[in-house]
Chains A and B, each alone.
Chain A
């Protein structure tokens, strides 16, 4: 079993395929031969056929034929009118930062690399030159069943020299399949298995359901004794995995996959138990230990080691997921921040395809480092591409991070009102869930909280001077991990928008909100200043409903979750706020209704 690389094809193969195509053409054009007439059935069949033709016509318009000259090529599929398209990492890697892409309108478009996920074999590219591309709606791959009709559309054997993609019909042969990675790369977790043909060159193309929704990205097939041709077992990256990574990839990142820092094995009685765990992992810190039974991961039940790998393999590094485990009969739930499989430096090497096995390097004869086609000097790029490319460590193309940042800034801007002024401090009061009342005052440079246990104060000047860490100011109120500092950052982002805020702000990608009940993904902005790091979760309405705050280089976070966030007079107020430090609840604040004025 192996991935499909780009390939060169022989004349003989072309001939064979042309024959197949001619026959399939006849199929679609030919008359329907039914001897005796059950007219109802006949019209059912005919209308089903019409529907199928309609669906395939629409889907074929979104199919991208990727041509990368001597580096081969592959397929892709458009997912937005402004030209974003999905394809495989292994198609883009040899092609480099730019490639030529054909659509079935007969036009060749220039495309530029946007984001890469080497582990999951995904890439996002953007076709240039038009803002009304046809695109495929993305479906929910978890609703796909064995037996469902499916179509693969793409550029098998790079046949689409006339830019017309090939279509193959089949059924879904299996769901939630796991295909092992090569090393740490090209892992197909929770993928779809189909008997529609996936051949070399189909890589990166779309897998569609009967209603024309994109349910997967084709990229792999089981090959054996007959060489590299389809034998009825092909695999597609699930659309839901794509959705998990899409925010990260569209914003120019070099994405990484997740690890729990723990391995699992099947116990003698068939339970999935922790067999090894890194003591440096967040998982260990949150309390998971060897022999604990894993019940659920990210809201999905874990019934086998394969299921564990399937779920984990679809998640990006940096996400926070709930893990339910059982120890001595008692279940507990913890939230884990998923670590990356690679270091950023390793990913960078993988992107370049430079990580050769150690055995291949000969001592004393160090080969010249190959130029990385995925990290060119912008000056070497054609004029038309140059302005769409910005190299930066940890990113495939930082230009697109700016684009996404701009989009979220606009979302935030729309919620901003003129009455918000940083000179006015925001004041709240209410009741603690644990009992007693509280008061909070948030200013631009300082914040104060009054709790039954005492009054705490945070000051920007002290944080900047780096003095307060020892004095305990930074993390005030004590035990919260920096709640006041986090609230101040939250207020600043709301007032100033993302344009003027101090520190380096980037678009992180998308993540599910903490409230595990929802599958909705929120845009995440990451702010780094000299004294802290914070992630802001912004929903589609521009509400910053969640903040993850790290003091300095700390890996333990203070997490704020706002509920019922709304405008109360001149400033924002939630109905309640929960504050967690390192996974433990610090306090729940119930805000009193009504406006508070200075």
Chain B
């Protein structure tokens, strides 16, 4: 077992233990009538700082709409980086029905966040502060979002209630693509993993913005859909990076490339001379990961995981998506038969990571 798996396992059981202990201990998980008035006032106020965003996309799994948080009085909007905002014209609708066209200011590829800008003045906004305190587990929260796109025009975004169930590092995937952000997130006990929710605003019952609802991702460990939020202090780092560096790279394929080189596992391929040189194994270095896994000279690599490769360039491309800790499984052809080779996991020696890094 690698440390990563252990970490995630303990996180999962922590969540489970927490949920059970909270429920069984009889803590009033549900809003209490005497406090109900506060929720209304707090959420109505917060909703004026949340916008509905409409852009490109619109096929199943890739929604064309999401949510954003106003973070300056002059119209900066923080949201998640997605295909929806990879669009010439992003429509932005405020709480009072005012409609703007938003443009992309910049993106943080690491946290998969983006800053948009509308031409506004004196807009209500949330101050996103780097020293925003971490919210305790069990904190009652409200999630405001463009949930299922049901709120249109001047209709207020949807509001859901829940509690912070855990505070753990994110390990998530979208399909076969690992999510780039692996920092801490709040895990929520309400379902915020819905179309339109990404970019939504998580507030506590005092009305502070404590996080942003994340993308529609599954857990990398058990494939369950994750309802999570990125804490405000992380948002602040991202916001600062984007605004100061004007790091406005366009959105790219979310499969973030790494510099993993399969040769580091102890194998050589035939010289890559042609445009489509087949990935034949030329040699194996004894006592390496490749040797232990049973790779041999003249094996032809035909797939990485479930992705077919037909050339050395294709092989490098597929391998470049693996990051430390990812399993490396190869299909090879040997004597006319397909053999599965398990090369273990990508060692965690290479990649130094930093925000905004390509």
Interface on A for B, CB 8 Å cutoff? 1, 23-24, 26-33, 44-45, 48-49, 51-52, 145-149, 169-174, 176-179, 193, 195, 210-211, 222, 224-226, 230-233, 270, 303-307
Contact = CB atoms under 8 A, between A and B. Distances in A.
Contacts of B44: 145-147
A303 B97 contact: yes
B151 A174 contact: yes
A174 B34 contact: no
Contacts of A270: 97
A149 B47 CA distance: 18
B190 A232 contact: yes
B272 interface: no
Q: Interface of chain A, helix or strand or loop or mixed? A: mixed
Contacts of B120: none
B191 interface: yes
Contacts of A193: 150, 158
A195 B190 contact: yes
Contact of A171 (B23, B150, B151, B161): B161
Given A26-B23, A231-B191, A48 B33 contact: yes
Identify the 7 closest CB pairs spanning chains A and B, nearest first. A30-B26, A147-B39, A147-B40, A210-B33, A304-B153, A232-B191, A169-B30
A532 B35 CA distance: 58
A26 B24 contact: yes
B160 interface: yes
A305 B97 CA distance: 12
B244 to A, nearest CB: 36
29 contacts: A27-B24, A29-B26, A30-B24, A30-B26, A32-B26, A33-B25, A33-B27, A44-B34, A45-B32, A48-B35, A49-B28, A147-B40, A147-B142, A147-B159, A148-B39, A149-B32, A171-B31, A171-B39, A174-B151, A176-B155, A195-B159, A224-B194, A224-B195, A225-B225, A230-B191, A231-B191, A232-B160, A233-B194, A304-B152
B150 A32 contact: no
B36 A233 contact: no
Nearest to A20: B23
B62 interface: no
Most buried by A among B31, B151, B154, B157: B31
A173 B158 contact: yes
Given A26-B23, A147-B159, A210-B33, A303 B150 contact: no
Given A26-B23, A30-B26, A222-B150, A171 B160 contact: yes
Given A48-B34, A171-B31, 14 more contacts: A27-B26, A30-B24, A48-B32, A49-B28, A146-B44, A146-B47, A146-B159, A147-B44, A173-B160, A210-B36, A224-B194, A224-B195, A226-B225, A232-B194
A304 B97 contact: yes
Nearest to A30: B26
Contacts of B24: 23, 26-27, 30
Nearest to B190: A232
Nearest to A176: B155
B153 A149 contact: no
A232 B28 CA distance: 19
B204 interface: no
B156 interface: yes
Contacts of A33: 25-27
B23 A173 contact: no
Interface in B1-57: 20, 23-36, 39-44, 47
Contacts of B147: 173, 222, 232-233
Nearest to A151: B30
Contacts of A232: 147, 160, 190-192, 194
Contacts of A28: 26
A177 B69 CA distance: 22
A178 B151 CA distance: 8
Interface in B117-161: 142, 147-148, 150-161
Contacts of B195: 224
A306 B26 contact: no
B26 A31 contact: yes
A4 to B, nearest CB: 15
B353 to A, nearest CB: 30
B61 interface: yes
Nearest to B197: A232
Given A30-B26, A48-B32, A174 B159 contact: yes
A255 to B, nearest CB: 25
Contact of B158 (A24, A145, A233): A233
Q: Which of A1, A30, A172, A173 has the most CB of B within 10 A?
A: A173
Contacts of B216: 225
A31 B20 CA distance: 14
Contacts of A177: 150-151, 155
Interface in B174-203: 190-195
Given A226-B225, A233-B150, A27 B33 contact: no
Contacts of B190: 195, 232
A29 B24 CA distance: 9
A28 B152 CA distance: 38
Contact of A195 (B23, B28, B148, B161): B161
A231 B25 CA distance: 25
Q: In this complex, which of A1, A149, A177, A226 has the most chain B Cβ atoms within 10 angstroms of its Cβ?
A: A149
A306 B33 contact: no
Contacts of B33: 48, 51-52, 149, 210-211
Given A49-B32, A304-B97, A174 B158 contact: yes
A52 B33 CA distance: 8
Contacts of A210: 33, 36
Contacts of A27: 23-24, 26, 29
Nearest to B99: A270
A23 B191 CA distance: 18
A176 B157 CA distance: 12
Contacts of A171: 31, 39, 142, 159-161
Contacts of B61: 225
B67 to A, nearest CB: 14
Given A44-B34, A145-B40, A173-B147, A306 B153 contact: yes
Nearest to B63: A224
